[in-house]
Every structure is written in structure tokens, then in C-alpha cells.
Amino acid sequence: MKPHYNEDSYSNISYNIKKKVNDLLPHNKCLCVGDKSLMPEVNVQVMLEVLQASDLEELKSRRAQEYDKFKNRTRTAADLLIVAEANSPLQYPTQGVEVQPLKTILIPGLGLHEPPKELHSVNLRANLGTFDVAAEVQEVMVEGVGEKHMTLSSSSLPHLNRQLQFVTYTSKLFHSNTADKVDFETKGYKAVFVIKVRHRLIPKLYNPGRKGVTNINNLVTIATKTFLRYNRLKTMIDSVRKFYPSVTIVIADDSENPEKVTGPYIEHYIMPFGKGWFAGRNLAISQVATKYVLWVDDDFVFTSETNIEKLVEVLENTELDVVGGAVRRWSGQPNTYQFTINLQDGDEDGDCLHLQSGFYHTIAGFPRCVFTDAVVNFFLARTDKVRQVGFDLNFARIGHLEFFIDGLGSLYVGSCDDVVISHPALNHGQKYNSFRYPSENARFNHTILFYFKNRLQCVSRA
């Protein structure tokens, strides 16, 4: 959408570029190149380098078509840039106007403020709905009732403003979540505002129990995926039971010859052999009935530092969707595996994804916790939010950061370094390792998936 002011009005006035600030602004081209002086360990993967030239153009064309469809599905008039004119006599709502599909609302806040004259007049234009008036005011002429374009005029400005208080908008084209751009005009002036058209969200609430009593058993389910490691799984379960004897544990298992895993508060689900990492996550989390799900690997070990209550407290008192803990490996140093994720606008070759080890800043009220975009494989999450993002089944052997990349913009993520789980140094055996680590062909397919699905030209990691 073009702004309603003339950008060229001041083009004859010279200026000096402030490079330090200008470099922070988005540009039409992105590069996955880090500053080696600041980040010497920058790993860059350029998608185009692994593709054959003969395949590239067809793949790029197909991706462009899918990207256009994606934009049509996800972008509405609410995403348009709207610039308000200076000293406009028009009064109108700048945000917060919403109607359910095929329903009618009063448009709040409409008004005209100008000196007295012979005739005062305003126009309203919409694209997806029509206008009407819920009441008629004397001395006001209304034209275009029930249409997408309506004109209201009167020799009396107070009467016209009174009539504007009764203007209605009716959604006419069904869409469960979109927006309409409304033009509001008077002679010499034009304003634009947006009416969101969408169903009201139905809340999904979990009963936490009586006030003042935190019952972890009713709030949290532990979920894990196992494969050929029943001895490690048993150790993990035993460690959980030392601290949380009645918390439900959901296990997704795609081992070749499944063994029975039984016990109180254990749910064991068998999958086809070698179905994969993310398939197992989807299955396990689909069976969670509690407000929160705690994800752990099957070879983790709970200790006195694995305080689930602390993570619950964070989610209960913030707007976070996911909060990670720390994993203590054989080195003895806990690792939070925090990453910030930034998607930089690119060109027709795709965008650039930058993964940077670290976080944004501390969470108020929780000095040991920070905001970030991705965390370690030990996290507590709102069950419904994890299901919304889901785990892409195409990531069978490679996948963890991919979940957080898919959740960028919808998952609000934090990390706390004072809730720690143990990850002992273990030899998992040749057979397990042959499945655990992906082949060259799998890595190639992973790259193609990033290129096409996420419309990327490169990924940098530092």
C-alpha cells in the first residue's frame, strides 16, 4: 500500500547517512556472513551450493508459487502500512475494531471536525463488507445504505457527527480470520483504518485445582521418545520416581523389537520401527492431558536440581509458552543451549536465517531466567502451544532447533539455568548410532527442506 503523503516532497533536501544506524536497517539483500572478528566460529550453509543448476530453476519456480499462496493465506489488510495525514479533520479508530464473520457492528469513534460551511460530507469505502446506519438522524442525508460505499452529508456538523455514531459495518464475505481496509474521506482528506474479521477465540482453560495448592501431578506430564535404549529409559523413569512418584510419563517407542514398559502412571505407545524423532514427539505430546508437558530425553536423569515446580512457577507467572532448563553433561558444566533466531529479509533467492548462541535479556522477577528463541532438549511448555507448532515429520533423524524455527513468531521462549537435569556419558552401541546419525543423503534432503519449506537461501550459526 502506498502512503498517503508525497515522499518526493523533500527529495531536494540533502542529508548525511549515519552508517552505524543505517547498517541496522533491513535491506533488499541478505547475506549469511558473520563478523569473524566478533564471531570467529561462524558456520554458514548456503542452500544453493548443494543444488544442481538443472534442478534449481524448477525448484525455485515451484517454491515461488507456494510462497505466493502462503502470503495470500497469512497476510490481510491488518498488515498494511497506514500513515495518518497531518492535521486531518477526520476522527476514526486507529485499532481495535473487530467483527465476527458475516456479523454486524457499530464502528466506534467516527467524527468530522472542521469549520462551519454550507455542506459537510464524508465517504466510507470497504472491500469485504457493507455499511448501514442503526438509527437515522434528521437533517442528514445517507446514500449507499447496504453498499460498500456510503456517503453521509448535512448542513449541520453536529447532526452529521451524531449520525456517524450510528454507522454500522457488516461482514459479507466469509473468512475465519482476515481484515478489511476502510477508506474514510472528506474533501481534501483521506484516512484509512482496519476492521479485523475473525471468529472469537474460544479459550481452552485447565483447572489448576484449589487456590494455593500446586499439584504437579495435575499440571505436568513428562513426555519422552525412546529407541533401542530400554536400560537408559528405565534409569530415567527410576530417577523421576525418586522425586515425582505420581507424575504421568508418556513414552513413544519406535524400537525394532519393543519391550514392555509398565508401572504406575506410565503410558507406553508403540510406533512403526524407525519412524523417527519428530514423529515420536508428536505421538507423545498428543497423549498429554495436562496444562504443561515436560520434554526429556530417554537417557536423562533427574536429580535434586531437577525442580519442575520452578519451571511451573515461571510459566504460571509470565506469558511464556516454553521455558527450558539446563542439562549437565559429563563435563559437569550445565548447558542451556540458548539460541536467538533472526530471519533476515532477502530477495527471490530466499531469506537468510541467523542462529546466534545466547539470549536477549533477563526476565523480570526471575533473575536466573532469560528470554531467548530456542532452548535445550529439556523444557516445560504449554501443551496446546506445542501442538499448534507441531513437529515436522520430515525431520526423522535431524531435528531440535527445527521445532523452534517453525515456532518463531508464535512461541514465546525463556530459559532458566537453575533447573538442571543430568545427562551421563554413555555408550549407546553401534546399532543405535547407525540410526541416530543421519546419512549424507538425509543431510541433503534436510537442506532441500530448509530451502523449500522455509524459503531460505542460507543459514548461519554462531
Task: Mark whether 253 and 380 lie in a shared domain.
Answer: yes
Using an 8 Å Cβ cutoff, are 124 and 167 in contact?
yes
For 310, phi and psi rounded to 5 degrees?
-65, -40
Q: Is residue 386 part of a domain?
A: yes
Task: Mark whether 416 and 294 lie in a shared domain.
Answer: yes
Which tops the pLDDT comparison, 417 or 448? 417
Instruction: Print the domain residue range for 351.
Output: 216-461
User: What distance lies between CA 65 and its chain's CA centroid?
Assistant: 23
Task: Mark whether 160 and 227 lie in a shared domain.
Answer: no
Q: Is residue 13 part of a domain?
A: no
Task: Mark whether 191 and 244 lie in a shared domain.
Answer: no
Task: Mark whether 181 and 242 lie in a shared domain.
Answer: no
Q: What is the DSSP letter of 301?
A: B
Task: Mark whether 310 and 343 lie in a shared domain.
Answer: yes
Q: Pick from 168, 198, 228: which residue ends a domain?
A: 198
Q: Pick from 137, 166, 198: which residue ends a domain?
A: 198
User: Which residue(s) pair with 458 in the sheet?
Assistant: 46, 352
Task: Mark whether 255 and 349 lie in a shared domain.
Answer: yes
Task: Mark whether 177 and 233 lie in a shared domain.
Answer: no
Give the domain CATH number at 363.
Answer: 3.90.550.10
Q: How confident is residue 5, by pLDDT bands cut at 50, 70 and 90?
A: very low
Task: Mark whether 226 and 175 lie in a shared domain.
Answer: no
Q: How many residues does the chain have?
A: 462
Task: Mark whether 440 and 340 lie in a shared domain.
Answer: yes
Task: Mark whether 176 and 301 lie in a shared domain.
Answer: no
Q: Is residue 443 part of a domain?
A: yes
Q: Is residue 66 part of a domain?
A: no
Which tops the pLDDT comparison, 4 or 454? 454
Give the domain CATH number at 125.
Answer: 2.60.40
- Percentage above 70 pLDDT, the chain: 88
Q: Pick from 198, 231, 246: which residue ends a domain?
A: 198
Q: Is residue 436 part of a domain?
A: yes
Total number of domains in the chain: 2
Q: How confident is residue 379, by pLDDT bands cut at 50, 70 and 90?
A: very high
C-alpha cell at 416: 532458566
**Separate counts of helices (H) and strands (E) for the chain:** 11, 25
Burial environment of residue 61 by CB neighbours within 10 A (0 to 12, 13 to 18, 19 or more): exposed
> If you average pLDDT over residues 366-384, what whole number do you get?
97
Task: Mark whether 134 and 275 lie in a shared domain.
Answer: no
> If you average pLDDT over residues 138-155, what whole number do you get?
97
Q: Is residue 250 part of a domain?
A: yes
